[in-house]
Structure formats: structure tokens, C-alpha cells
Amino acid sequence: MTLDASVAEFSIKGNLEQFLIVLSVSLSVATISRIFSWFRQIPYTLLLVIVGLGLACVDIRLVNLSPELILEIFLPPLLFEAAWNIRWRSLKDNLLPVTMFAIIGVIISVLGVSFALSEFTDLSLATALLVGASLSATDPVSVVALFRELGASKRLTILMEGESLFNDGVAVVAFLLLVGIPLGLEEFSLSTTIIRFFTFVGIGLGIGCIVGFGISYLTQRFDLPLVEQSLTLVSAYGTYLVTEELGGSGVIGVVTVGMILGNFGSRIGMNPRTRLLVSEFWDFLAFFVNSIVFLLIGDQINFDSLSSNFDLICVAIAAVLVTRAIAIYGLANFSNLVSPVKTNFREQTVLWWGGLRGSVSIALALSVPALLTGRQEIIDIVFGVVLFTLLVQGLSTKWLLQKLDLIGDQPLRQEYSELLARRVALTRVIEYLSNNDISPEIINDEFYRYQFGLVKGELKSIEDKIEKMNREHESLRSLAVEQLQEQLLDIEANTYAEFIRAGKLQENISPLLQEIMVKADQSLLKG
């Protein structure tokens, strides 16, 4: 017993040390990328991949990246954070192209990549199908971050993020349906595959709805920010584990619960301050997890193994690019024919080139059973394609946005928004100082006048800056009107939410009030 205890203690200590090393390296690199101007040209996730590759070159392996680590530890918070922040109203307007990209696009990718590999290499069709399924999920974390930083259109961001959010689940389900074929455990049957697909998705949607609406109504009963924050974390991991245990898609379950809590539960069960705290918590958690994942992706690269399968990787890269082009240009143009919201050619081009592959693809490749002949080829192909999309496509996306003139004025609008917010805050401070009797026994009268003058001077300076920006950039005037409308809408929606929490208004409110609350939530948390 003593020996076993010592071995267990040594193992725990070793794992803890490994985790701390990974954490220190990943967060240090992510921080450095924000401090030095030169590094800001590279999205921090891609910089982490490059650092990981450097560690792999000198054969420093921080930790073994397993499918369980990605799918059960890293993936749920990343999916939940994306689902929490995506606004249903924006997604609803673009639901047709997003759904087509996420479902039909995955099918095109699986069939196209598998056909190319089976036709132009020695891989069997069954093995090639697993490669196609693994590479069908997009992971545009760094591209979406770049969109927001450069001020690309909000619709482009919604299309990219919405597709990724849903095609993760479709790709995982497709992989699970196909993995038994090369092992001889089952034969492909269209009817059986369709039934299993809807079973996976249905269980995921069902569990996600139960947990999402359950926690939404539960948080109405109290106002404890830390507890509500903890409940969202439990819901992300709990939904994934329960759904997987019941035979459904944990990915679909987490996406569902994240969207319900982000668009409904956060409105009826949380006050504005709590919603912001929860959103900031998930922003940090996503940054934290992404920092680790992308560092480990680079660190896991085995250059000798990749070089031995270089021809397979080249065929796979070409197939991924071609099938992505077919899916994006074909489906987007079809969507343009039937949908009032159009996707122009320049946006289609960015969606095509920005379809990076990442952690989900690697997790699926690593989860291929060890008994399967060709497992190492599958892993090498997937790692090679992921590396190409991250380093080549990821690093050139900014250049492409600039060439296509899709960079907006987001930095300028952000500066203007901050000035407007400071003006509102300082105006409220002055109102407080003017309308409240402050006892001279507590606060010295001279100090009071000094503070009052200081705040008024700061407010005057901000108003001068706003006026100057209005003169130089007439387009900013509409932003002030938008912010006023959002503030009025938010006040109205928060009033309804307070009535719901107090039991003075039924939970099943009218569609009109629901629309007001959704709009206000969108304005509060929009990126």
C-alpha cells in the first residue's frame, strides 16, 4: 500500500508539473503577443502553434494530446462560450446559409476528401472516409478574432462562427457513424445512417433544452453572481457528459444549452451586471483553453512521420481546398437565390480561405481505434492539413481581407463608443454630486469643489473629443443614435426581467416582449 501510494503521489506530482509548464508557456506567449506591436500582427492562437512547433523541433513534448483531453475537457467550454455569445437574432437572419454550410458543407467535405484520397492514393475508401469526416469540422478561432480586431462586417463573423458552431456537431456525428465500417463492425446503410444521425442530434437537442431552460428558470429564484457563473460551467460539462452517456451528441447538447442560456436564461434570470460578469468569465476561459490547445497542437507535430506521408498530405490539402470552394461558392450562391440576405463574392472568398481546421479534427483523428490499419496515416494527414490551414491560411487571412477591402472602421468606432460611455458615466457622477447633500463634517467643502471641478473638466475634454470626431467622421453620428436606442431598449427589457423575477409577470411572456428582451441582450453583449 505504501509503495502504491508513493507511485500515485509521484504520478500526480508529475502531471501537475506538466500542467503548470504548459500553462506558463501558453499564457506567457499569449501575453507577449499583446504587449509587443510586431507580434500583434499575428493572431495569438497562431503564434502559440508556431511556439509549439519550435518546441517539437527540439523534441520537447509538454504533454500527450489525447482525444479525451480535447473532447471532454477542452471542447465543452469552447463550444459553450461561442454559443453563449452568438445572438439568436443575428443567427436567425443568416440561418439558411449557416445551416447549409454546416450540414451540406460537411457532407460535401467528407465525400470530396475521401474520394480524392481513395482515387489518388493507396488509402482504402473506408479509411479515407474517416479522414474526410475528421477534416470536415472548421475551427476559425483565430480568424474570427482577426475579424473583430480589424472590423470586418458582423455578418461575415456570424457566418463563419455560426457554421463552425454547428458543423462541429455534424462532423463528430458523421465520424461516429463511419468509424465502425473499416473495422468490419458494420456496413453502410443509408436508412440506418439517417436514423442514427437524427437519434444523435435529437438526444443532444433534448438534453440541451432540458438543462438550458431548467437553469434559466432556476436562476430566476436568486441573484448570486458567483453561483450563476458556476451553474453555467456545470451546465457546459454536465450536458456534454450526460448526453454522451445517453447515446447522443455531446457537442450538439452543449451548443444548445449555450444558446438557450445566452439568449434566454441570461435575460430572464440574470441582471445586467451578472450577465457581464458571466460573459467576462467565459471570455477568459475561452482564451485560457485556446492558449493551451493551440500550443499543444504545435507541440504534437512529428516531423519525421509527416514527411513520410507528405504525398498523402498534399492530396488531402488540395481536396480540402477544392471541396471547401465547392461548398462555399455553390451553397452561398444558392442561398442568395432564395434568401433576402445576400453573401457577395468577396465575403464568399474569405469564408472559403478562412475555413481553418483545428482541435476537433485532431481529436477525431486521435480517437481512431488502435486496431485500425492505417491509423497513423490518418493522424499524419489530419495533422498536416491542420498545420497548413493554421499557418498558411491563418496567417494570410489579414492580407486577404485588406486586398478585398473588407476591413471596416471598428477601431475608430470602438474609440468613439468608449468616449460616449465615459460621457454618460461622468454626467451621472455630476448629477450625483449636484443632487445629494454631502455633509461638510464628513467631506471638506474645498475638496468637494475640487472634485466637482475635476469631473466637469474631464467631461468638457471628452465632449470636445466627441465633437471633433463628429466633424472629421460624419459616419460616427449614427453610432450615438444607435447607442441611445440600445440604452432605451435595455432599460425597457431589464424592467420586464425584474417583473418576471419578482413573479409579477408570467414567464410565458408575449412574443413582442420576448423580441424586446432578445434585442436588448444582443446590444448588451455584441462584439
Output the nine-digit C-alpha cell for 522: 444582443
Q: With H, G, I as helix, E, B as strand and everything else as coil, classify residue 505.
A: coil
The count of C-alpha atoms lying within 13 angstroms of the C-alpha of 271, restricted to the half-sphere facing its C-beta, is: 12
Q: What percent of the chain has pLDDT over 90?
A: 24
* Each residue's pLDDT tens digit, 283-306: 888 888 888 888 888 888 888 888
More confidently predicted of 521 and 475: 475
Confidence label for 525 from pLDDT (cuts 50, 70 and 90): very low
User: What's the whole-number average pLDDT of the chain?
Assistant: 80
Positive or negative torsion for Cα 253, 258, 260, 266: positive
pLDDT of the residue at 328: 95
- Other C-beta atoms closer than 10 Å to the C-beta of 3 total 7
pLDDT of the residue at 512: 46
pLDDT of the residue at 503: 61
- Other C-beta atoms closer than 10 Å to the C-beta of 195 total 11
411 Cβ partners below 8 Å, 6+ apart? 151
Which pTM was predicted?
0.76
Q: With H, G, I as helix, E, B as strand and everything else as coil, classify residue 39.
A: helix
Output the nine-digit C-alpha cell for 401: 481581407
Weakest mean pLDDT among 83-87, 256-260, 368-372, 443-447: 443-447
CA distance 101 to 138: 10
By CB atoms closer than 10 A (0-12, 13-18, 19+), residue 204 is buried
Which residue in this structure is represented by grid cell 446590444? 523
What average pLDDT does the segment 234-255 reach? 92
What average pLDDT does the segment 105-111 reach? 93
What average pLDDT does the segment 157-170 reach? 86
Q: What per-residue string of b and e applies to 177-190 under the rule 16 or more CB within 10 Å gives b?
A: bbbebbeeeeeeee
What average pLDDT does the segment 108-114 reach? 94
CA distance 393 to 386: 10
* Each residue's pLDDT tens digit, 185-220: 666 677 777 888 889 889 999 999 999 999 988 888
424 Cβ partners below 8 Å, 6+ apart? none
Give alpha helix (H) positions in 58-104. 67-68, 75-85, 88-93, 95-99
Inform me whether the pLDDT recorded for 21 exceeds 80.
no
Confidence label for 326 from pLDDT (cuts 50, 70 and 90): very high
* Each residue's pLDDT tens digit, 31-76: 776 676 666 667 777 888 888 888 888 777 777 777 777 778 888 9
Confidence label for 231 from pLDDT (cuts 50, 70 and 90): very high
Weakest mean pLDDT among 45-49, 63-67, 137-141, 260-264: 63-67
Weakest mean pLDDT among 339-353, 413-427, 477-491: 477-491
Inform me whether the pLDDT recorded for 524 exceeds 50.
no
More confidently predicted of 12 and 459: 459
Confidence label for 256 from pLDDT (cuts 50, 70 and 90): very high
* Each residue's pLDDT tens digit, 340-383: 888 899 999 999 998 888 888 888 888 888 778 888 899 999 99
pLDDT of the residue at 13: 60
Distances (CA, A) of 261 to 212, 232, 267: 6, 8, 8
SS3 of 255-310: the string is HHHHHHHHHHHHHHCCCHHHHHHHHHHHHHHHHHHHHHHHHHHHHCCCHHHHHHCH
pLDDT of the residue at 335: 92
More confidently predicted of 409 and 245: 245
More confidently predicted of 66 and 496: 66
Inform me whether the pLDDT recorded for 437 exceeds 70.
no
- Greatest C-alpha distance within the chain: 89
What average pLDDT does the segment 516-527 reach? 48
The segment with the largest mean pLDDT, out of 130-139, 180-189, 398-407, is 130-139
What average pLDDT does the segment 219-248 reach? 90
* Each residue's pLDDT tens digit, 84-98: 988 887 788 888 999
What average pLDDT does the segment 218-244 reach? 89
Give alpha helix (H) positions in 389-476. 394-403, 410-435, 445-472
